[in-house]
Amino acid sequence: VDGPEKAGLSWEQSYLPSFNLGGIFPPLATPFSPTQEVDYAQLEGNLRRYASIPFRGKHCPPSFSMQAPVRSLPATEAACRHTPHPFAPSPATQATIELTVSMAEAGADVALVVTPCYYRGAMTTAALIHHYTEVGDASPIPVVLYSVPANTGLDLPMEAVITLAQHPNIIGIKDSGGDITRMGLMVHKTRQEDFQVLAGSASFLLASYAVGASGGVCALANVLGDPLCQLDHLCRKGQWQEARDLQHRLIEPNMAVTRRFGIPGLKKAMEWFGYYGGPCRAPLAPLSPAQVEELRSTFSANGWL
Binder among 187, 193, 194, 230 for its own copies (CB under 8 A):
187
d(CA 163, CA 136): 12
Residue 179 in contact with its own copies, rule: CB under 8 A? yes
Residue 153 in contact with its own copies, rule: CB under 8 A? yes
CB of residue 273 to its own copies, shortest distance in Å: 21
The stretch near its own copies (CB under 8 A) out of 18-26, 77-85, 103-111, 250-258 is 250-258
Output Rg (C-alpha) for the chain, integer angstroms: 18
CB of residue 13 to its own copies, shortest distance in Å: 25
State the DSSP H helix or E strand holding residue 170, giving kind and residue range, or none if neither.
Answer: strand 170-175
CB of residue 118 to its own copies, shortest distance in Å: 6
What's the Cα-to-Cα distance from 42 to each of 14, 46, 55, 242, 291, rounded to whole Å? 37, 6, 19, 35, 25
Would you call 146 a catalytic residue per the annotation? yes
Q: What is the DSSP letter of 38?
A: B
For 250-274, give the DSSP string. Answer: HHHHHHIIIIITHHHHHHHHHHHTT
Residues 17-76 contacting its own copies, CB under 8 A: 36, 62, 67-68
Q: Number of residues interacting with its own copies: please give it, by CB under 8 A.
A: 61
Q: Tell me, residue by residue from 205 to 234, as one string, x for binding to its own copies by CB under 8 A and - for no binding.
A: -xx--xxx----------------------
Q: What is the DSSP letter of 114?
A: E
Burial 51-73 (b: 16+ CB within 10 A, else e): eeeebbbbbbbbbbbbeebeebb
Amino acid at 236: R
d(CA 91, CA 40): 26
CB of residue 266 to its own copies, shortest distance in Å: 11
Would you call 40 a catalytic residue per the annotation? no
Task: Identify whether the C-beta of residue 25 lies closer than 8 Å to the C-beta of residue 84.
Answer: no
Catalytic residue, chosen from 132, 146, 209, 276, is: 146
Which residue lies nearer to its own copies by CB, 45 or 262? 262
User: Does 197 belong to an annotated binding site?
Assistant: no
What's the Cα-to-Cα distance from 191 to each of 166, 200, 241, rounded to whole Å? 11, 20, 26
Catalytic residue, chosen from 50, 58, 132, 174, is: 174
The stretch near its own copies (CB under 8 A) out of 5-13, 74-82, 104-112, 124-132 is 124-132
Residue 157 in contact with its own copies, rule: CB under 8 A? no
Binder among 119, 192, 289, 290 for its own copies (CB under 8 A):
119
- Residues 6 or more apart whose CB falls under 8 angstroms from that of 29 comprise 46, 61, 219, 222, 263, 266, 267, 270, 277
Active site residues: 146, 174
| Contact footprint for its own copies (CB under 8 A) | 36, 62, 67-68, 91-95, 116, 118-124, 126-128, 130-131, 134, 150-151, 153, 178-181, 184-185, 187-188, 191, 201, 203-204, 206-207, 210-212, 238, 240, 244, 247-249, 251-252, 255, 259, 262-264, 281-285
Q: Return binding residues for pyruvate.
A: 217
